[in-house]
Each structure stands twice: as C-alpha cells, then as structure tokens.
C-alpha cells in the first residue's frame, strides 16, 4: 500500500494568493493512500525540504508529491531532497500549482478545486511510480575524428591534449583541408599556411593521435561510449613505413599533366604525388585513375627509381576496426561548382574563376607563387570583378541560405589584389555586406576606404567575352537600378559553400540527420550546436553549415570539450526515463511479437533485436530490446506499440492512465 506525502507550497504568496493551500492539503489528506499532507510557505527552502525529509523518515513514505511550481524548475531540487532522506528520487513528483494554476486563474473556489485536482492526478500517478536507478553505460575513451581540416585538427589536438586517444581519419592524402589552400586569412591577413602547418605537424607527432590519411569511415555501429568503427584505408601503393618522402618518384613520374586538386586545377601534378609540399604526412600516393601502370599496365618508373623499394602496386584496400567512445564529425564543405551559373561563363571563359582558385593565385605556394595572373594568358589583370553571392541566397537556384564567409573573403581578395596590383581596379558586386564579427566590419571598410575597392550593390546578370575582355553586365541598385557594364580582365565568383561530397552517405552511415542541403543537423539549433541527434556523435566546422575559421575552431574545441567531458567518467550516467520492453512469465518471454515497427519509429536507433534462446541454445523468439544508452525517452514507440509490450519508465501507461482517470473519476 502506498504511503504518499503531499507537500503543498504557498510560494510566499505566489500560490496562496489565489489558491487556498490549506484546503488543498486538507482535501489531499483524504485521498486513499495519502499518509501525510501539509502546506508550508516555501517548500523549496531549507526548512521546507527538511519537512519533506523528516516525513519520509518518520512516516516511511513511499512517494512524495510536491505541489508547488513547475517541475521544470524544481524537480531536481525535490528529487535530491528525497534521495537524501533515503527515498528513491524517482518516487518524487511535482504538480504545478503556480505557473499552471495560481498565476493564471483568479482567486476563487474553482481555482482551489483545480489545484486539488492537480494534486489528485499526481498522487495517483505517484502511487504507480517505480524506483528507478540511473543508467550506467561504460565508455571506451577513444575518439574518432572524421576529417582532417582545421576543425578535425583542432578537435583532435584538444582531445589528445586532454590525455585521450584519438583516431583522425582524412580521405585525402594529406590533412589540412581547405585552410591549407588559403593564401591569407581575414581579418588579420596572416598567412594561412603559416598558422596551420605547425598544427598539422603537431597532429602527426602527437603520441595520442593515430592519423589515417587516404582513409574513410566504412561503417559505424554501436552507441555512445561503445561505437565500433570500421575504417577503410585506401591503398596508397606506397608503403609508408619504407617511404622516406624523398620525392624522387614524383619528380620522375612521366604522367605530369593532371590538374592539381590542391591548386583547384590551376596547376598540374603527377600521378604519384603529394598534394602540396607541406603535406602531412609528406609521403606520396599513386592516383590510380591517372597512373599509366594502373590504366595501361606499363610504366613502373616510380618503382624503379624509389631508393627504398616502397612502391607496392598490388596492395589492396585495408580495413581496420576500432572501439570508439565518441565521434567528432568534421568533414567540412565544398564550394559550389560555378558551372551552376551558365550566365557567368565559368568553364567557358578561363578568366572566370572561383574564390578558392583566387586563393591559390594569391598564395605564395600557389602555381603563380603569389602573383595574380590570368589563367588564360598569364598576364596581370588590370581590372577585376568580384561577384559575391554566386549561388548563395538564391532560392530560385535552390540555395536560399547565406554562405556566411563570402563577404569577408571577397573583401580580402579585393584587398590582396590591390596590394599586389597597385594600378589595378577592382569591383565587388554584392547584395548586402555581412561583416558581423570581431574586426570584420573594420576590415571591409579598410578594403573600401584604404584600398579603394569599388563596391557596387547589385546583381550581375551576365558575363561574356568581347575582344579579350570579360564584359560584366549588372545593375547598381543604390543608383536606382542603373545598368553597369565593366570591361574586366578577370572575374572571381564567390561561389556558395555547399555540403561536402558524400555527406549524405556518411550521415546515413552514422545515423545522424541532415538538412535539405545535406549539411549535418545539430541536436538543437541554440542549445546543442555541436551535438547530433545520435548521442556520442558531435559536429564541428563547415559540415554543419558554412562558417569561417575562428568559428570553426571554436566549434571544434566545443566538440572536443563535449568528448572530453564524456570521457571524464568511466561510465556514462543517464536519466532512467527510457523505454523498456516487457518480460512475462514462461515461454512467451515477452508480449512483444517482434514486428519491429518500433525500430522505424525510434529517432535514436535505440531498438535492437534480441534473440531469446532456450537452454539448448536455439532461438525461440526474437523480440525488441531497448538500448538504454541510446534511448532518450520520447516514448513514441510506447504509444505506437500495438500490444503495449514496450513502456517508458517514469511516464508508463499505467501512470498516465491513472493520472487521467484521477481527475475524471474524482
């Protein structure tokens, strides 16, 4: 038999001004199973809590109902108090007499009646509460970081520096990502490589970081603290243990005319290559699609010249599996291929280039060693046009979002151009200038005011070639839509940032969600920006949405902090408000019939198949089982289950039913 204690709070006068608290307590005492019912001025105060604790001890209460404010406010307070008095904290419930009653109704009998009903409901619910224990999940303290750009690098270093093992997986032959391609960075104009490469080296040398380049996540199973990751190590055709990185192979490779990805097609590379001189690891791989040996069966020059015999053409892809406790996804972004815009002539005119290509031109390590030259004829462009929002904020083209970084890098590009081509003339066509960020607005103003960049507010309608010049036709909306026509030598498109190739596939492998543009979805847009819906998988950088370097780094450290926080305990403790599949006597084992439709209803992949075996080890039945490590307690499965074989602790069918009946049958 239940012994429930009801504790009615006046909340000063917040409740008692409109609710007759004494009467509520008195009426509650008449409910069957209520052992003690009292009212007090401030239940959450020390004396109030002591009152509850003493009643638990003296009267041997089996449940406590605190009729006070919103449980969203003080439920932890009172549950803790109960726990301190030896009552299981989940035997304590709150009913909301303040926000849902006294504050929203006028003083009167009806309001007091409602308060009594609210108490009655929770008393009936509490009678059916069961003691629950926090769920403990063991944790493998090893993190998997996917993507070796600045986000992945930062996250890996933070986690590794906290003393935890990190596996960093990068799909390209070198880490560094987009940041390594950049020339200078806004708003300080310091050299990107100069600040990045030390970090890259640190990753490679860190004792806690295992780096797998030219590798991809193949499969991810399991759940928070207990993932099993299968990683595909793509065959590099070069044995990294033997290779010294001397570079003879690529200097002798006869296939030399492959557009360099690192230089965005503005330079060339060989079939055996390292993406760039500062690559980490600085050991080449063979690009099988372009290597003559792989395509035609002949050549092997690299093998002949390699002093250490490191070339191994027959090595297959390898697979390794790792036990992982948490995953940080840092797969970055891609820029929209501007052939998306036939009107700007990208691909048709060599001198229409993307912002990322401009970065390579401006970079000291780029194909022109930092000199701004036209790809078509190698001359210095005297007049240059930058088109912002090339794709971004264009719902008609299916990209309604702002790519966020373009305003800033376009200003930077224009500035770099002016610094390098002193007699040059630059124009920026823009929709709005979005320069929110520390020193950002000042930076743009500098471009306009100090470096004389011409900003034209308006869209470009068309770019076409005429007599070796690129004619840029647009309008200036600030001059009332006046048509503008510029004869440019070069056009740079600030093309939109889009989700990286294969983002969708990767999200599906990891069971995380993504938005319509294939950017990965955070668990909450405000309060859980680095978490995903799948516990234990975190996000950072531009795989979530386009963002600049400081923001990426901040987010990467945030994700790392989440991982470190998770790893700070050997077990994960979770609220026991989770679903449970029932167990019944004898051979039926459970009323679950194993239709597994709940599996598709669960947003967290928390439903697994459990095979029930007899003593001979034969499977007699397969039923659903909830992984308490993954279940978040939404209860969608509970109301979906036809036979009511699955129930949720803390909001069980019986409890909810009793709560509803209590108010109606009173």
Partner 1 sequence: MDELRTKAKELFEKGEIDIFIGYEEGTRNPRPLFANNADETQKLVFNDMCTGNLAVYLTRKDLVKGKRVGISASYYALKSIAQLFVENQLKEESLKVFGLSSDRKIQALNSLEEIKQYLKDTPPPPKLKDDELIKQIDEMSSAERWAFWSDELSKCFKCYACRAACPMCYCTKCIVEVNRPQWIQPWASTLGNMEWQINRVMHMAGRCSDCGSCGTACPIGIPIHLLTHKMSETVKINFGDSSEKGNVLSTFKPEDKESFIL
Partner 2 sequence: MNNEFEPKILAFVCNWCTYAGADLTGTSRIKYASNVKIVRFPCTGRIDFMLLLKAFANGSDGVIVSGCHPNDCHYTSGNFHARRRWILFRSLLDFMGIDIRRIQFSWVSAAEGAKWADIVNTTVASIRELGPYTEYQRAGDFLANNEEELAKEMEVNNG
Partner 3 sequence: MNWLTQLNDEGSQIYAPVAKGNKTDYKHITSMEEISMDHIQTTQSAKAIAFPRTEKLFSYTKKEGNVTLQNFDTTTIPETVVFGIHPCDAAGFKPLSGIFNWDTPDLPFNERMKRTTLIAVSCTQCDEFCFCTSVNGNPGNTEGSDILLTPIKEGYLVEIITEKGENLVNKHISFFEADPNVNKEEYLAKVPVQFSLEELHEKISNMFESPVWKQQSERCLGCGACAYVCPTCACFDIQEDAHGSSGNRLRCWDSCGFSLFTMHTSGHNPREVQSQRWRQRLLHKFSYMPERISVRGCTGCGRCSRACPVDMNIAEHLSEIATL
- The residues of the shown chain that bind partner 3, judged by CB under 8 A, are 30, 32, 584-588, 661-662, 665-666
If contact means CB under 5 to 8 A according to the sort of partner, which of partner 3, partner 1, partner 2, none does residue 99 touch? partner 2
DSSP letter string, 602-660:
-TT--EEEEEEE-TTS-EEEEEEEE-TTT-----HHHHH-TT--EEETTS-HHHHHHHH
Write the CB contacts of 93 (distance below 8 Å, at least 6 apart in sequence).
Answer: 63, 64, 65, 66, 71, 122, 125, 126, 129
With CA atoms as reference, report the closest residue to 269 among 248, 254, 280: 254
**Using the rule CB under 8 A, is 605 a contact of partner 1?**
no
If contact means CB under 5 to 8 A according to the sort of partner, which of partner 2, partner 3, partner 1, none does residue 622 touch? partner 1
- E strands along 444-481, which residues? 454-457, 460-466, 469-476
608-637 footprint of partner 1 as x/- string (CB under 8 A): --------------x---------------
Output 394 or 654, the one with its CB closest to partner 1.
654
**Using the rule CB under 8 A, is 663 a contact of partner 2?**
yes
Positions in 80-99 near partner 2 (CB under 8 A)? 96, 98-99
Positions in 557-616 near partner 2 (CB under 8 A)? 577, 601, 603-604
Q: Which of 319, 639, 642, 643 touches partner 2 (CB under 8 A)?
A: 639
Contact 490, 420 (CB under 8 A): no
With CA atoms as reference, report the closest residue to 626 among 639, 613, 645: 645
- E strands along 309-403, which residues? 318-324, 326-329, 333-335, 352-354, 383-390
Contact 3, 33 (CB under 8 A): yes
Q: Which of 30, 57, 59, 72 touches partner 2 (CB under 8 A)?
A: 72
Least CB distance to partner 3 at residue 587 (A): 7
Nearest 10 degrees: Cα torsion 301, 305, 309, 311 = -30
**Using the rule CB under 8 A, is 643 a contact of partner 1?**
yes
If contact means CB under 5 to 8 A according to the sort of partner, which of partner 1, partner 3, partner 2, none does residue 98 touch? partner 2
Residues in the interface with partner 1 (CB under 8 A) total 22
Is 23 strand, coil or helix? helix
**Using the rule CB under 8 A, is 591 a contact of partner 1?**
yes
Write down the residue that tokens 């619910």 correspond to.
125
Positions in 647-666 near partner 1 (CB under 8 A)? 653-654, 657-658
Write the CB contacts of 628 (distance below 8 Å, at least 6 apart in sequence).
Answer: 135, 137, 574, 576, 578, 606
Output 106 or 467, the one with its CB closest to partner 2.
106
**Token digits for 198?**
């030390």
Q: Which of 82, 572, 581, 638 touches partner 2 (CB under 8 A)?
A: 638
If contact means CB under 5 to 8 A according to the sort of partner, which of partner 3, partner 1, partner 2, none does residue 633 touch? partner 2
Least CB distance to partner 3 at residue 665 (A): 4
With CA atoms as reference, report the closest residue to 179 among 631, 637, 553: 553
Write the burial class of residue 126 (CB in 10 Å: 0-12 exposed, 13-18 middle, 19+ buried).
buried
**Using the rule CB under 8 A, is 513 a contact of partner 1?**
no
Binding region for partner 2 (CB under 8 A): 70-73, 96, 98-101, 103-106, 110-111, 113-114, 117-118, 121, 513, 523-524, 533, 577, 601, 603-604, 632-636, 638-640, 648, 651, 653, 656-657, 659-661, 663-665
Binding region for partner 1 (CB under 8 A): 584, 588, 591, 593-601, 622, 640, 642-645, 653-654, 657-658
């Amino acid at each position: 038999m239940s012994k429930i204690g009801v504790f009615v709070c006046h909340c000063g006068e917040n409740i008692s001004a409109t609710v007759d608290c004494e009467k509520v307590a008195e009426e509650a005492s008449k409910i069957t199973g209520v052992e003690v019912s009292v009212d007090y001025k401030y239940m959450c105060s020390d004396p109030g809590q002591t009152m509850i604790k003493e009643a638990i001890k003296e009267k041997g209460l089996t449940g406590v109902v605190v009729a006070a404010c919103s449980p969203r406010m003080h439920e932890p307070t009172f549950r803790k108090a109960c726990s301190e008095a030896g009552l299981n904290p989940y035997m304590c419930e709150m009913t909301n007499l303040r926000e849902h009653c006294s504050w929203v109704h006028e003083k009167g009998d009806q309001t007091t009646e409602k308060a009594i009903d609210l108490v009655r409901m929770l008393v009936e619910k509490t009678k059916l509460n069961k003691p629950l224990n926090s769920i403990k999940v063991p944790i493998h303290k090893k993190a998997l970081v996917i993507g070796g750009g600045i986000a992945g690098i930062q996250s890996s270093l933070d986690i590794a520096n906290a003393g935890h093992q990190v596996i960093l997986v990068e799909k390209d032959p070198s880490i560094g990502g987009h940041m390594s391609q950049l020339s200078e960075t806004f708003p300080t104009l310091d050299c990107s490589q100069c600040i990045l490469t030390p970090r890259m080296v640190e990753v490679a040398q860190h004792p806690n970081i295992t780096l797998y380049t030219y590798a991809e996540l193949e499969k991810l199973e399991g759940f928070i603290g207990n993932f099993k990751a299968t990683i595909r190590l793509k065959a590099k055709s070069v044995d990294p243990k033997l290779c010294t990185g001397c570079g003879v192979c690529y200097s002798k490779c006869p296939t030399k005319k492959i557009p360099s990805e690192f230089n965005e097609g503005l330079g060339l590379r060989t079939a055996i290559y390292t993406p760039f001189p500062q690559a980490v690891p600085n050991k080449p791989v063979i690009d099988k699609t372009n290597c003559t040996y792989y395509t035609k069966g002949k050549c092997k020059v690299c093998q002949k010249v390699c002093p250490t015999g490191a070339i191994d053409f027959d090595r297959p892809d390898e697979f390794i599996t790792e036990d992982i406790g948490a995953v940080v996804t840092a797969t970055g972004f891609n820029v929209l291929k501007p052939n998306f815009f036939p009107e700007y002539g990208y691909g048709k005119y060599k001198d229409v280039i993307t912002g990322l290509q401009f970065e390579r031109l401006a970079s000291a390590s780029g194909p022109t060693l930092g000199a701004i030259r036209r790809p078509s004829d190698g001359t210095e462009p005297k007049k240059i046009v930058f088109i912002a929002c090339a794709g971004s904020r264009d719902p008609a083209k299916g990209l309604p979002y702002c790519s966020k970084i373009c305003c800033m890098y376009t200003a930077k590009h224009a500035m770099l151009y002016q610094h390098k081509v002193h007699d040059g003339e630059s124009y920026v066509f823009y929709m709005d200038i979005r320069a929110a960020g520390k020193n950002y607005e000042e930076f743009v103003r500098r471009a306009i005011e100090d470096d004389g960049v011409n900003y034209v507010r308006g869209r470009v309608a068309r770019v076409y070639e005429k007599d070796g010049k690129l004619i840029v036709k647009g309008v200036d909306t600030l001059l009332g839509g006046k048509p503008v026509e510029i004869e440019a030598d070069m056009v740079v498109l600030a093309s939109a940032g889009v989700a990286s190739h294969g983002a969708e596939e990767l999200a599906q492998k990891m069971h995380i969600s993504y938005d319509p543009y294939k950017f990965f979805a955070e668990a909450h847009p405000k309060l859980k920006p680095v978490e995903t819906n799948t516990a234990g998988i975190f996000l950072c950088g531009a795989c979530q949405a386009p963002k600049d370097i400081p923001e990426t780094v901040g987010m990467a450290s945030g994700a790392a902090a989440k991982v470190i926080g998770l790893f700070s305990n050997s077990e994960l403790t979770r609220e026991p408000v989770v679903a449970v599949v029932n167990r019944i006597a004898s051979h039926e084992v459970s009323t679950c019939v194993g239709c597994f439709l709940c599996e598709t209803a669960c947003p967290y992949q928390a439903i697994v198949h459990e095979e029930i075996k007899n003593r001979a080890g034969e499977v007699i039945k397969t039923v659903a089982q909830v992984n308490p490590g993954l279940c978040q307690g939404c209860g969608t499965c509970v109301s979906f289950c036809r036979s009511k074989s699955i129930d949720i602790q803390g909001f069980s069918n019986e409890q909810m039913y009793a709560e509803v009946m209590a108010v109606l049958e009173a």
